Amino acid sequence: MQHYDICLIGFGNVGKAFATLLDNKKQALAQQGLDFRITAIATGSHGNALNPEGIDPIRAIQAYQDNAIPALSSPKTNIESIKDFIRASKADFLVETSPVNYETGEPAITHIKAGLSSGMHAVSANKGPVVHAFRSLKMLAKENDKQFLFESAVMDGAPIFSVFREALPSLNVEGFEGILNSCTNLLLEKMEAGKSFEDAVAFAQSIGIAETDPSGDIDGWDAAVKVAALVTVMMDHPMTPQDVERKGIREITPDDIQKGLREGKRWKLVCSADKTNEGVAASVQPKLVASTSPLYAVNGTSSLVIFKTDILPGLGILESDPGPETTAYGLLADMLNILKVG
């Protein structure tokens, strides 16, 4: 049996879903000769826990609800610096699930650097480090004979990066088009059903799809950072969300929605990128989509991206109604792929 310790940074919806997934998959992984233990958990506002003997995932979730994460430490620890905490964990994997910072990618970049420099593989669901530090993190990983993977950063657990990295070698991505923000797709659909913009946002917040401050979705920042991540990695062209031509859905009115439906079209927040003579042109824009487009039928919180390559004219990847569980699976898949190819 191969034993691997995990330092988990962030214990929100995705972090808790990852802990639950590890518990659910424990026997299946054991049959493959793998034993994963969470030995460190760092949270944004509920404290940290460090236990070399392992932290029970279900107990950790309950402790988070009881605001008692530090009580899981053994022995008691009082390490204030997150970098020192990561180093002290002596884990084999750093799993980074902290909230995204669209402007700088911090503090997730610092977390990942600390993990790689301490001899850990790093897997992340965070888009910020991909768009703001992809090349430097990959170089740091190589220098330490480790890997940095991030399958969950764009479409939750759907394989995008790994498909091109492993199944489609030497295929050049020339561009892509898709729907990458599930929140705005749901909002536009609810407005089609007659809800006001405000009521649609309130509904999305009630089911946990929209944040208390939904501006990151509504104003196109989440979509833009995903576009930037795909361009940076898949098209080998460094790009930040600030480089993406961006417009959100705030100005779309119920009248706009109904007029589009009468014309047999639907409003979608369309993400796109294409190679040009000057580099890559990327945008996030609300557009009226005709029924002949594959984007027309993308409903609810589903996502779709269609890649244009030098050989395959149109390769699409669809993910239907993802949630924290699918994002958590992307993290686990990265870990298993690292052990397979590392």
Q: Could you list the active site residues? A: 226
Backbone angles phi, psi at 177, to 5 degrees: -145, 145
Query: 133-165 burial, b for 16+ CB within 10 Å, e for fewer?
Result: bbeebeebbeebebbbbbbbbbbbbbbbbbebb
* Separation between Cα atoms, residue 200 and residue 205, nearest integer Å: 9
What is the token pair recorded at 127? Answer: 């888009």
User: What is the Cα–Cα distance from 138 to 150, expressed in whole angstroms?
Assistant: 11
Helix (H) or strand (E) segment spanning residue 60: helix 57-65
Q: How far, in Å, CA of 70 to CA of 63, rounded?
A: 9
Give how far Cα 299 sits from Cα of 73, 103, 119, 184, Å. 44, 29, 42, 11
In contact, 270 and 295? CB cutoff 8 Å: yes
Alpha-carbon distances of 13 from 20, 98, 133, 199, rounded to whole Å: 11, 10, 25, 24
CA distance 108 to 111: 5
Distance CA 93, CA 9 (A): 11
Give the Cα separation of 12 and 311 in Å (integer). Answer: 41
Beta strands in 220-302 (DSSP E): 245-246, 265-276, 279-290
